[in-house]
Amino acid sequence: MNNEIKKQSVNFLRGVPAEETLVQLIPHASEGYKKAIQRYGTDVLQYGHFSGFKPLRNVLAKQYNVNPERIVAGNGGLEVISLFFKSLPLQSNIIIEEYSYDRVVIDAKRYGHNLIGVKLTEEGINLKELEELIGKGNIKAFYGIPFHQNPSGINYTVENRKAVEKICRDNDVFCVWDICYKDLRYDGKLNSEIEVSDWGPILTSSFTKTISPGTKCGFMVVPENYVEYFTKIISNTRINPNLPTQAFISDFIESGEYEKFLAYLKELYKPRMDILNSALGEHFPQSSKIKITGGFFATLLLGNIPVDKEKEFIESAKSEGVNISSAWSAVAPNFKDEIQKKGLFIRLTFPAFQPADIGWGITKLKKAAERF
């Protein structure tokens, strides 16, 4: 008989959905895929359109009030963003938030693009900095996460977001909003809708967090005059995405079950968000000032952990059962030195854990920090 007691631990590293949400999804997915195959037959088993499954594109086009030709549905949000980066001229200048989705930052660099960060504020981004950067010329695109920003959790105000859109439009700069966390707000409020015109802004999102990572489906709403060129880029990269998955998601949305599933997620994640806010406010009041209202992430700046002590501190926290890492890969190149001088910058995720585990993990993290 094994009498070994499992040591308590919490892994703040990866922003994965809670396991119970995937269990909840199993009957929907198993029945949904079956129905999709029966309903659409060989349409989802044969080669399909470069830009994705037409019924799903129709559903999304109706939601955003655009021509379905402007919808690109792919194998996850990161894929469609990567395709967009591929469509830009080599070594394009792209403005991002001072810290952003790390995989997007890494992917843009791999295409040879130059990333320039702009300061984040509690309202969104520093508009004066944005205007100054764009005013210098030769900026091709701005990429931002306006709802429950990854990794900070900041929610742009409507005024800030619209000002960003106007600055980009006036200067012929692509404005790309990653809205993958828009529907994941847990404080009982709803995030505002983004109005899309022929010009844009470009919207990109994913069903990874709202349905499941394994289904791998994301989409992008592109400008009217960019459809033909972008489709050529897609067709030279991949033939078609996962059509059975897109058929399932299309039917899931149309049936109304998707909205019910979102309501379930919000109810499940709210107490986890609340304990995160409470624990951070109690133990790190100066280091984490943003109140999280949704999404998957929060950030923490540990001012007493210098660069040369990072590895030692991370190992110390791990020995206590708290798994963390630095988040420097998420930081814009022009902000890295400035933020590193302030201390260790880490990203925390919370939806996958029970409230008690989140509170325990933050408490342990505080004790580990105090030792340094």
Boundary of a domain, candidates 239, 258, 277: 258
- Cα within 13 Å of Cα(37), Cβ side: 6
Q: 342-356 burial string, b = 16+ CB within 10 Å, else e?
A: ebbbbbbbbbbbebe
Q: With bands split at pLDDT 50, 70 and 90, how would you rate the model's confidence at 3? A: very low
Q: Which residues contact 130 (CB under 8 A, 6 or more apart)?
A: 95, 118, 142, 164, 167
- Quick one: which H or E segment has residue 315? helix 310-319
CATH number where 126 lies: 3.40.640.10
Q: Residue 359 falls within a domain, yes or no?
A: yes
**Same domain as 220, residue 79:** yes
- Report the candidate in 202, 84, 211, 104 with the shortest Cα–Cα distance to residue 149: 104
**Same domain as 157, residue 132:** yes
**Same domain as 210, residue 112:** yes
pLDDT value, residue 71: 98
Q: Residue 2 falls within a domain, yes or no?
A: no
Domain count of the fold of the chain: 2
Residue type, 89: P
pLDDT value, residue 197: 97
Q: Mutual orientation of helices 310-319 and 355-370 as an angle, nearest 10°?
A: 130
pLDDT value, residue 4: 45
The helix, strand and coil proportions of the chain, stated in percent and rounded to the nearest 5, come to 45, 15, 40
Span 306-342, pLDDT tens digits = 999 999 999 999 998 999 999 999 999 999 999 999 9
**Same domain as 128, residue 207:** yes
Q: Residue 5 falls within a domain, yes or no?
A: no
pLDDT value, residue 330: 97
Specify the DSSP class assigned to residue 184. -
**Same domain as 239, residue 287:** no
Boundary of a domain, candidates 258, 286, 310: 258
Boundary of a domain, candidates 258, 287, 302: 258
**Same domain as 247, residue 134:** yes
3-state secondary structure of 158: helix
Specify the DSSP class assigned to residue 186. -
3-state secondary structure of 297: strand
Does the pLDDT value for residue 2 go beyond 60?
Answer: no
The percent of residues in the chain predicted with pLDDT above 90, rounded, is 92
**Same domain as 319, residue 173:** no
Span 106-134, pLDDT tens digits = 999 999 999 999 999 999 999 999 999 99
Per-residue CA distances from 113 to 18, 101, 151, 195, 254 (Å): 35, 16, 21, 28, 39
Domain of residue 193 covers: 23-258
pLDDT value, residue 6: 59
Does the pLDDT value for residue 1 go beyond 60?
Answer: no
- Is residue 227 a contact partner of residue 88, using CB atoms and an 8 Å limit? no
Residue type, 319: S
Q: Among positive and negative, which fits the CA dihedral 33, 37, 38, 43? A: positive
Mean pLDDT in residue range 133-148: 96
User: Which pair of structure tokens corresponds to residue 363?
Assistant: 């408490």
Does the pLDDT value for residue 14 go beyond 90?
Answer: no
Q: Residue 291 falls within a domain, yes or no?
A: yes
- How far is CA 273 from its chain centroid? 17
Does the pLDDT value for residue 288 go beyond 70?
Answer: no
Q: How many CB atoms lie within 10 A of CB 5?
A: 6
Does the pLDDT value for residue 357 go beyond 70?
Answer: yes
Residue type, 185: R
Q: Residue 1 falls within a domain, yes or no?
A: no
DSSP string, 100-127: --HHHHHHHHHTTPEEEEE-EETTEE-H
φ, ψ of residue 101 in degrees (nearest 5): -65, 115
pLDDT value, residue 211: 98
Q: Residue 4 falls within a domain, yes or no?
A: no
**Same domain as 267, residue 204:** no
**Same domain as 171, residue 35:** yes
pLDDT value, residue 371: 85
